[in-house]
Amino acid sequence: KIDTGPVERNQVRGGKCPLFIWNSERIGNVASSFGLERIVVGVRHPVLFFQSFYNYRVTNFPQGRRQKNRELQHPPPPESLVGQQNQWEDVSTYSAQYEQALKGLASGDSLPLSSLKFFLYTAEQLEGGASKLFRNSLKDFLGLQRPIEAIGHANKNDALERKLPYVMDICEERYSDLRDLLIQNAIDTSRFLLSEFINGKNVQVGD
């Protein structure tokens, strides 16, 4: 949901939507209608991303919707979610191929996307010794005056610890082929990010 209310002086407004970057048309519409100027893109190791996204979908749907939707009551086995054609609630190995979503967004070839600025970071930068340096670079990118406080994993999913039904532990032997595929796909993702995306004229990489 986009907040279209008035913005007070010196106030910066934003929203969080992990699937937003997969829809360039929607990004363009939001940029035109609501003055979207900057997009912060966080990436994560694809193996951990797949596990986290699958477990999130399994455990975070409203109970009413789960009762009405058989697929949510009995989610498919993770190892079956291979490729773009085999997605379940947007979860598949294709979801971890970030380059498919990012291609063209920062190329500057089309308006209004050409006016957008991108900030790229990895999930590991949110915590640890380099976190303060990262937060300073993000503050500058967003044009903020005040320092950004420490950012933790506020929505950390503890499904594994609680041993809820259907959650996956991707380190289990049964997922070895799935892990191998995710890592193999990550080679192309890494190549695109390092050789093309970060060299875009409107892209800044978090320190």
Write the DSSP string, 141-184. HHT-SSPPPP---TT---HHHHT-TT---TTSGGGHHHHHHHHH
pTM of the model: 0.79
Summarize pLDDT for 105-136 with one digit per residue, the tens: 755 555 556 678 888 888 888 777 678 888 89
The residues with which 120 forms a beta bridge, in sequence order, are: 41, 205
Q: Is the separation of the CB atoms in 103 and 192 below 8 Å? A: yes
Summarize pLDDT for 143-197 with one digit per residue, the tens: 888 888 877 665 555 555 566 678 899 999 999 999 999 999 999 999 988 888 8
Closest CA to 75 of 164, 157, 162, 167: 167
The mean pLDDT value of the chain amounts to 79
DSSP type of residue 91:
B
